[in-house]
Structure 1
Amino acid sequence: MIEDWLRHNRENWDDRVAVHAASEFYDLPAFRAGEDHLRPFEPDELGEVAGRSLLHLQCHMGQDTLSWARRGARVTGLDFSAEAVRTASALAADTGLADRARFVVSDVYEAEAALGGERFDVVYTGIGALVWLPDLPRWARVVASLLAEGGVLYLVEFHPFTELLGEDGKAVERDYFDRAGETFDFEHTYTDGPPLSRTVQVQWHHPLGDIVTALAGAGLRIDFLHEHDHTMWPRFPVLQRAGAREYRYPAGEPRVPLMFSVRATRPA
């Protein structure tokens, strides 16, 4: 295990919050005005959430969390960054959703204790979350412990295959099965905005098989695994915009999976 990975990542994400909140990428004014932050396929895949309790792990500033609240869910967002939770709580108040949304500061591995053993109808975790976690089986056990009987995990993520590709989005430049953690030192985050002051971060690569196996090993039943040929931002220069927050390879060119989604149920 890389020493102090949790401290480095928490400090890095604390620094990102102010930059992200002011960025065009996240566009909080548009969200306050009613813009939906979910990918178009997500509500169809998860199904009706009105009246259901939904926990969003690693929620960052809460836009995805609150998008589910706008659909009628009673939501809880959890993130290890106190700065992110403060921003998310303020956003809930600004959008009139504070009566059905709360936000909690906790490392995801300590979520069960932080939430006092509460169980949820839905556990949701979204884009760019799993690379920050070194131990997937432990994460999957936490998810299972947070689900009510018959409850579902809904996971939407960047496809791990994309981590193999070079900057052009065409050539494979990395070993898919290299699971070792990597330490990076980047001056900027992935959005527009000024440089960060705490720049060290640690990430892990998780092959798709490891993710599904961890969920099955925690006793969850896999309902579906969908691989998507589009992503939410122009990660590679070859990608072309195809809709709201949707970018694809040009028609006629070979495609690779860019995102995936999993729904898994805790048996009753």
Structure 2
Amino acid sequence: MIRPDFHEANRLSWNAATVAHNRHKPDQAGFLRGGGSTLFPEETGLLGTVQGKTVLHLLCNSGQDTLGIAALGAEVTGVDISDEAIAFATRLSEESGIAATFERSDVYPWLEAAVNAGRRFDTVFCSYGALCWLSDLGTFLRGVAGVLNPGGRFVCVEFHPVAMIFDEQGEPKYDYRMAEPLAWDDGIRDYVADSCGGLTPSGPVAPAEPFNNPHPCYEFQRGLGDILGAVILAGLTLREFHEYEFTNGWKPFAEMKSLPGRRWTSPDGKPSIPLMFGLVAERA
């Protein structure tokens, strides 16, 4: 069931967090103009060649990855629920000189309207902490299938549900899947600051004042079987699936081993666990 009440609370929390996150990232427009990209090899590898293709980036946040895809030659539309994120993304597009279209909306009414209007794309993309904000995964993926061209692909790189079992100290605390959303009274936090440069490829800046989000947020925890099952039930054919024992950018636990390329993995002496997954699914 779609829960617009939770989505609205999350919109407010993201509006506040987006401002905090972007204050850590210096001269993003200059970074992009100079050929910089926030995309990791996992995304570009799964996306494949996008030159001349139409790409829909759902839950695009502030548009950095959207513009990275556009710089590869795609015609890209980014959609996000946050007013602050879309406003920032639009400015970043103008200031970087990389063309993309950004539209502010909750993803559910956006997809419904797009399907009804006959809008179609070669690729639909989402990544990194996107699926946890969706109250109804089945409806979302049916909407994704509805806006794909025949032969079009849904590409997703996401944090692994197994990693979400643990708290910040790496101790098991949460159920693998939850019937009700997980409520965070302190809202979306400044995880950019906590990731020790992993999420600031344009260069680190001095830490800003501590951030306290006044708006709570709600996340939806699902198992990997729930996610893959919803992909299949939406009528999409799974073409690729990968699990990764590292994270890109985000540092999920206090004790992590740093890897080259702004990656984090389990520290020496501790078992490795899957921390991300990537998938490609195709519409017939």
TM-score by length of 1: 0.91
2:278 to 257, 261, 264: 261
Mapped pair 1:19 → 2:36: no
Flag the 1:117–1:111 CA change in 2: closer, same or farther, 3 A: farther
> 1:111 matched to which residue of 2?
110
Q: How does 1:39-118 map to 2 (within 5 A)?
A: 39-98=40-99, 101-115=100-114, 116-118=117-119
- Secondary structure of the residue aligned to 1:142 is helix
Matched-pair contact (CA < 8 Å) for 2:186–2:213 = no
Q: How far 1:197 sits from its partner (Å)? A: 5.2
The code of the aligned residue for 1:165 comes to F
Mapped pair 1:7 → 2:8: yes
- Distance in 2 between residues matched to 1:177 and 1:24, nearest whole Å: 34
Between 1 and 2, higher relative CO (CA 8 Å, sep ≥ 6) is seen in: 2
Runs of 4+ in 1 over 6 A off after TM superposition: none
The code of the aligned residue for 1:230 comes to F
> 1:223 matched to which residue of 2?
239
- Distance in 2 between residues matched to 1:73 and 1:159, nearest whole Å: 28
Once the two structures are superposed, residues 75-122 of structure 1 have per-residue CA deviations (whole angstroms, 9 ceiling, x without a partner) of 000011122111101111111112xx1001111111234543311000
Structure 1, unpaired ranges of 5+:
none
- Distance in 2 between residues matched to 1:217 and 1:132, nearest whole Å: 20
> 1:211 matched to which residue of 2?
227
Of stretches 82-91 and 22-31 in structure 1, the one that deviates more from structure 2 is 22-31
Q: How far 1:218 sits from its partner (Å)? A: 0.7
The code of the aligned residue for 1:242 comes to L
The code of the aligned residue for 1:249 comes to S
- Distance in 2 between residues matched to 1:45 and 1:25, nearest whole Å: 28
- RMSD between aligned residues: 2.2
- Secondary structure of the residue aligned to 1:244 is coil
Matched-pair contact (CA < 8 Å) for 1:39–1:245 = no
Structure 2, unpaired ranges of 5+:
194-207
Matched-pair contact (CA < 8 Å) for 1:234–1:241 = no
Matched-pair contact (CA < 8 Å) for 1:234–1:240 = no
Mapped pair 1:172 → 2:172: yes
Percent of residue pairs bearing the same amino acid type: 37
- Distance in 2 between residues matched to 1:167 and 1:17, nearest whole Å: 21
Once the two structures are superposed, residues 200-237 of structure 1 have per-residue CA deviations (whole angstroms, 9 ceiling, x without a partner) of 11111011111111110010000121110110232223
Q: How far 1:27 sits from its partner (Å)? A: 5.7
- Distance in 2 between residues matched to 1:30 and 1:39, nearest whole Å: 15
Number of residue equivalences = 264
Once the two structures are superposed, residues 131-157 of structure 1 have per-residue CA deviations (whole angstroms, 9 ceiling, x without a partner) of 111111111111111111100000110
Q: How far 1:51 sits from its partner (Å)? A: 0.5
Mapped pair 1:195 → 2:194: no
Matched-pair contact (CA < 8 Å) for 2:33–2:97 = no
> 2:199 matched to which residue of 1?
none
Q: How far 1:251 sits from its partner (Å)? A: 5.1
Flag the 1:113–1:204 CA change in 2: closer, same or farther, 3 A: closer
- Secondary structure of the residue aligned to 2:145 is helix
Of stretches 23-32 and 226-235 in structure 1, the one that deviates more from structure 2 is 23-32
> 1:182 matched to which residue of 2?
182
Mapped pair 1:158 → 2:175: no
The code of the aligned residue for 1:220 comes to L
Flag the 1:114–1:265 CA change in 2: closer, same or farther, 3 A: same
